[in-house]
Amino acid sequence: MTATRGLEGVVATTSSISSIIDDTLTYVGYNIDDLAENASFEEVIYLLWHLRLPTISELKELKKQLATNMELPKEVIDHLKQFPSNEVHPMAVLRSAVSLLGIYDKEADVMEEEANYRKAVRLQAKMPAIVTAFSRIRNGEEPVAPREDLGFAANFLYMLSGKEPEAVEIEAFNKALVLHADHELNASTFTARVCVATLSDVYSGVTAAIGALKGPLHGGANEQVMKMLTEIDSLENVEPAIRAKLNNKEKIMGFGHRVYQQGDPRAKHLKEMSRRLTERKGESKYYEMSTMIQDIVTSEKGLPPNVDFYSASVYHSLGIDHDLFTPIFATSRVSGWLAHILEQYSNNRLIRPRADYTGPGKQEYVAIEKRG
């Protein structure tokens, strides 16, 4: 056996959901550029779960199902109010709350196809409710109930602030959700598939995926990008700060990608939304700082920005707390996790790789009184 660090280049399964070929990302064969410019997030959810775009009536029905399932059980809200809100990261809260949802779902352990689809709808709907409810609770406010007349992106922003969002805000957030929805066999998606391949339940699979996404080398990168921008603070500080990081061989979050060689195709869409939103908010310095950082890092290291880099300034311009950036990633990516979970169930085989042993050779047991 030959070990491959990080399983780089190893093909672990087959999938009909998304692909990355020659730096082109597609969902079920649809180019991400096409979907980012034209599709609603609800259409993308349907596409990932059914492997085709919905009809008008099918989309209307999915939107209705999502809107009517967004409210959280009272028991889960009560738990959210008991968490040490000023001490715990929202990703830890999201991980725990999703696990709690499984406790209060009577179908949690029912493994039939129709039941799993119903759980997928409920989970997709309740993820934004968890994130927004906790955000409000820790600020001393009550959760805001979703509105059935608002779409998924609009409802998230509404439940977060209590105010109906503007069209450009909905457009930006919808685009971010579409771009983050799925990404082939990334770390969190692989984690979800490994979990449910044991025939564990949907809630366990999503809880495991959230745990994987929480890390700064996966979903946590956009929060770290905003932390860097905040610390640099001004255009004058960009060049000395970034060059100092490069000289010290520090990792600059938001650049490079394990799979893309020529650049992340999602980044340009969020770069444009960052420009529009920061100018509108009178905070164009964050966009300008970002482009300066991009120029330096790409010139010096040959690394283009990935999707995390500009999503940071987009979310900041929407007035979203920085530690909510990764939970928002999860709110989108759960659509892909659920698609892969349903696909894994449909043609399951336990995922059990091997390890190349590098420990000591044959040894003999020595009684404890004879050990030196």
Residues with catalytic function: 257, 308
Cα-to-chain-centroid distance, residue 142: 25
Q: If we measure between CA atoms, which residue out of 57, 58, 48, 40 comes closest to residue 16? A: 48
Contact 129, 145 (CB under 8 A): no
Question: How far is residue 81's CA from residue 77's CA, in Å, rounded to a whole number?
Answer: 6
Question: How far is residue 77's CA from residue 129's CA, in Å, rounded to a whole number?
Answer: 10
Q: If we measure between CA atoms, which residue out of 182, 256, 354, 258 comes closest to residue 8? A: 258
Widest CA span in the chain: 77
Residue whose structure tokens are 């020529």: 262
Q: If we measure between CA atoms, which residue out of 129, 216, 181, 209 comes closest to residue 329? A: 181
Cβ neighbors of 160 (< 8 A, separation 6 or more) are: 131, 132, 135, 136, 144, 320
Question: How far is residue 301's CA from residue 217's CA, in Å, rounded to a whole number?
Answer: 18
